[in-house]
Structure 1
Amino acid sequence: MGCKAAGAARIIGVDINKNKFAKAKELGATECIDPQDHKKPIHEVINEMADGGVDFSFEVVGLRDTLMSALLCCHEACGTSVVVGVAPGSDTLSVNPLVLLTGRTWTGGIFGGYKSKDSVPKLVADFMAKKYSFDALISHVMPFEKINEGFDLLRSGKSIRTVLTF
């Protein structure tokens, strides 16, 4: 949704759960691919699809392999990879400096780069003015007592976002 709102013409979604592809396309993805459908690493597939790499990638899983794939699918001279997924605290990355030296940028995007004190009131005002709708992201609504069921839905890949009511 954010990429579409920012004016991206081509948005490639990557997931191993093909059941999420329809929702991704509904929300703005122009293409969806499953790494398991390819014999070569997914960053190589994306680089071929995007004539040498994408302008921006967003890693939202928080795994070492996906962090590196997101960086490596960026265009060497000018691509930016944004880390959103939270990796386990014990994970470390070993990166060949040449991957960055050629011109790629690797940055974090916790909270979307917003400054909470200034930006949250604006985001809330925009939401209340119906500038944004997040309804399409809510796949389940259940009472708080079913929180464990909500986690089961998340782990099984059957939930996008579950809202718990009190």
Structure 2
Amino acid sequence: TLTQENWTLVMVLQTLTQENWTLVRVLQTLTQENWTLVRVLQTLTQENWTLVRVVLQTLTQENWTTVRVLQTLTQENWTMVRVVIQTLTQENWTLVTVVQDRVIQTLTQENWTLVRVVQDRVIQTLTQENWTLVRVVQDRVIQTLTQENWTLVRVV
């Protein structure tokens, strides 16, 4: 929660049920009329993930476009994840791209690596004409894990 009236809630729930993930929800809502609800659904079908969609629906006016996150498994590894937050009513949003090279979450047989989204106090605040930068912070080190496990997660 933010101190003022901007953001209300950012929750990342990641739970393991036995050998696989069930559901990840990201809720971002504003107290006023600005943001709508952001949902991230990630479900496992057997040993691999299905399609993940994040739809950031338009604001009450004509501000936001849609944000899509597509995560698909080709066999045992993930493809690239892109998050693009596009265009405000005026001329500047900061473009947010999350690029995950090769495999961000590799299936090592029975277990997933845990990914948490931690947001420092004010992660996204409207300061008049532009948004601040969105950080995705993961446990331990964002940068690569040892050898074949993780690759690099960049937030631009």
Q: What is the TM-score with the length of structure 2 in the denominator? A: 0.26
Higher helix share: 1
TM-score, structure 1 as length reference? 0.25
Per residue, is there more strand in 1 or in 2?
2
Identify the structure with bigger relative contact order (alpha carbons < 8 Å, sequence gap 6+).
Answer: 2
